């Protein structure tokens, strides 16, 4: 089974998690982005603004990646303003037609509110079909590599 782990990252945590999962399950990895530099405080404020005002529409996967050549895609996305980030949602909307049948959501978040399941599940509307599974992983004060190891084991 060919698997692709996609991630958006602002401060590299989601990248680290998706690379770890990919290493365990033997998947390819690629980054997706809206092309904006969102580093630093101004980047954070811009990300909040873009989320609240829903202004993100341009998104692309870096590198020469054909989603249709995979059997399974895992989409890593940080939580921004209490839900999976707008860039991830834009990616799902843009590529709903060429995503493989098995799509998983891997959502990372800083706070201890762990139940993002309803908001994550709501992304199936953008996807246009039921996702295969989801996990949300806390990244602050938590061994997130251990949590991502546990999730990866469920995919083997
Ligand atoms: C604009 C913005 C809003 C965020 N909102 C939340 C939030 O509502 N709840 C939460 O737990 N974490 C929130 N975070 C924290 C990130 O979800 C968390 O730090 C994530 O692991 C960062 O992943 P990254 O390093 O790959 O960018 C927010 C981060 C940003 C930049």
Confidence of residue 112 (pLDDT cuts 50, 70, 90): confident
Ligand 1 within 6 A of CB of 46: no
Ligand 1 within 6 A of CB of 14: yes
Confidence of residue 56 (pLDDT cuts 50, 70, 90): confident
Ligand 1 within 6 A of CB of 17: no
- Residues 6+ positions from 10 with CB-CB distance below 8 Å: 38, 39, 43, 44, 47, 78
Give the architecture (CATH level 2) of 3-154. Answer: 3-Layer(aba) Sandwich (3.40)
Confidence of residue 140 (pLDDT cuts 50, 70, 90): very high
* pLDDT, average across residues 62-91: 96
Question: In what side-by-side order are the strands of the sheet with 60-61?
Answer: 60-61, 28-33, 3-7, 72-78, 102-109, 133-138
**pLDDT > 90: what percent of the chain?**
91
pLDDT of residue 54: 84
* pLDDT, average across residues 13-21: 98
CA-to-CA distance for 66 and 155, rounded, in angstroms?
22
Ligand 1 within 6 A of CB of 136: no
pLDDT of residue 103: 98
Domain ranges within the chain, ordered by starting residue? 3-154
For the chain, give the mean pLDDT.
95
Of 6, 8, 10, 47, the one to substitute when testing ligand 1's pocket (max ligand atoms within 8 A of C-beta) is: 10
Nearest CA, atom 16, ligand 1 = 109
**71 pLDDT more than 80:** yes
Q: Which residues of 5-30 are buried (b: 16+ CB within 10 A; e: fewer)?
A: bbbbbbeebbbbbbbbbbeebebebb
CA-to-CA distance for 122 and 145, rounded, in angstroms?
26
Angle made by CA atoms 122, 9, 136, in degrees to the nearest 5 = 40
């Amino acid at each position: 089974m060919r698997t692709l782990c996609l991630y958006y990252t602002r401060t590299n945590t989601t990248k680290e998690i998706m690379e770890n999962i990919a290493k365990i399950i033997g998947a390819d990895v690629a980054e997706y982005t809206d092309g904006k530099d969102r580093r630093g405080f101004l980047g954070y404020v811009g990300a909040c603004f873009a989320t609240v005002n829903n202004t993100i529409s341009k998104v692309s996967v870096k590198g020469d990646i054909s989603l249709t050549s995979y059997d399974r895609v895992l989409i890593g996305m940080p939580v921004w303003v209490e839900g999976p980030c707008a860039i991830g949602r834009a990616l799902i909307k843009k590529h709903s037609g060429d995503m493989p049948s098995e799509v998983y959501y891997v959502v990372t978040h800083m706070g201890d509110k762990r139940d993002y399941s309803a908001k994550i599940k709501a992304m199936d509307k953008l996807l246009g079909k039921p996702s295969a599974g989801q996990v949300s992983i806390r990244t602050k004060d938590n061994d997130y590599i251990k949590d991502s190891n546990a999730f990866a084991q469920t995919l083997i």
